[in-house]
Structure 1
């Protein structure tokens, strides 16, 4: 009997590539996202698509119920959906910050809660949470995004210990810089919220930094680099707790471990060409 996988954020990038690779491996795949029309390729390759809004509890319940009613199980859950909110902590409205946490953290956990009972009953399963290298260190004007990824890291570590007696594995994937429009959107958000405030000097420099790397830099890793790690973790009998992959992920995480907070702060300011003056 084929293993059943549910992948969120499947309309593009890492999620879409993961679905296609799991289909090739013989999984019964369900790709889920808000925009059904962007997932036609998954259907064409033999997968299934479902609409999923992680800010809507009913949508989450219906998504899981549909799969369990048809397949009777979910063997692999890939929590990939999420977005990055840029802007100074003082400048971003709390309502917008709450929405960032609603999608990246609470939606992820709500979906996991709905899947766990079936995994416990079958005493097996894998939950693969897509965090980020941004879950291991912080940079200016991305604090709300970093905060959600730090949460994903901590919640995943706790969950791994809680579900271990039931044969369920919890894996964290930490991507670096990937070939998507993430950095361009992030830069625009930083300018939107902080580009004309008291923080405008450094906010615009940080926006420049992200836009330069995502528009001009051709050395970013393709989404397939992360999708391959997800498939690897899905297939492994004893997967690693963490998989680090993608441009700059390993060196950034290493230097955060190596340097004191003071030195890492200085390195960050220098690397992003930030000013110490207002």
Structure 2
């Protein structure tokens, strides 16, 4: 790990093999932070200059402990944790296999919580620390055929609020980053899961409409460049007085405000947005 400023904090970024995680890890390494990038495909993290690759499977607690131990041995205690890893399980609530729904929570919620619990103790002993949870606007409101993904992000938002109050007395800040649509491979993978679950059954027409909307919006003005979001994540991780939430993307605050309308009014707006009856 040459060319890393030893005076900077140790940062652990999950989901660092691609997309937002890789960009965030590289950005912080370039700024002189001691950065570890964790992922199942850690060989891809090894391609990032100045980033320590760490093998991590969030569904395996022994892997979580081994990953943090490796970071501690190489770079010192984790002072900033960026929980970026996650994926989207899409499909109707009726048709999505429950084992896949459980895996959605195992990765997006329980795995994230297990990793966070592993680093809180050392942070508390040091009297300082930062936890950045990369959530989504999907944690503020729900939409058709995304129930399990939205539920996992709703859960992450609630956990973040509770941890923020619990950890404040120990000098540990908790911040949430809420991107809207982002130009990464994430949406393509999510839509493939949607079509696998609901592309051929009673929700087929709805699935086609929802998938078509998401694919058509890949280059829409509301869709953020991944580098823009990575810079916001880095800001949440490093600025002295972090905000509790960072919404990213054109119209993101407006979307949240609209979600506070009466339920049936918001439902009707959502149906029109996706082009479903």
TM-score normalised by structure 1 residue count: 0.94
| Equivalent residue number for residue 4 of structure 2 | none
Q: What are the residue-to-residue correspondences of 1:4-19 with 2, within 5 Å?
A: 4-19=10-25
SS at match of 1:41: coil
Distance 2:194 2:73 in 1: 43
| Equivalent residue number for residue 200 of structure 1 | 204
Distance 2:222 2:114 in 1: 36
Distance 1:247 1:218 in 2: 7
Deviations 1:228-268 (A, max 9, x none): 111112222110000000244222112113x2111100000
Deviations 1:130-188 (A, max 9, x none): 00000000000000000000000000000010111100000000001100122222222
Distance 1:2 1:182 in 2: 31
CA shift, 1:11, in A, is 0.7
SS at match of 1:29: strand
Q: What are the residue-to-residue correspondences of 1:1-278 with 2, within 5 Å?
A: 1-42=7-48, 45-214=49-218, 217=220, 220-257=223-260, 259-275=261-277
Q: Which consecutive residues of structure 1, in runs of 5 or more, have no partner in the other structure?
A: none
Distance 1:142 1:219 in 2: 19
CA shift, 1:72, in A, is 3.1
SS at match of 2:73: helix
TM-score normalised by structure 2 residue count: 0.94
**Aligned partners of 1:177 and 1:249 also within 8 Å:** no
Aligned alpha-carbon RMSD (Å):
1.4
Q: Which consecutive residues of structure 2, in runs of 5 or more, have no partner in the other structure?
A: 1-6
CA shift, 1:217, in A, is 4.1
SS at match of 2:235: helix
Distance 1:28 1:72 in 2: 9
Deviations 1:193-225 (A, max 9, x none): 1112122221221111112222x6476211111
Distance 2:124 2:258 in 1: 38
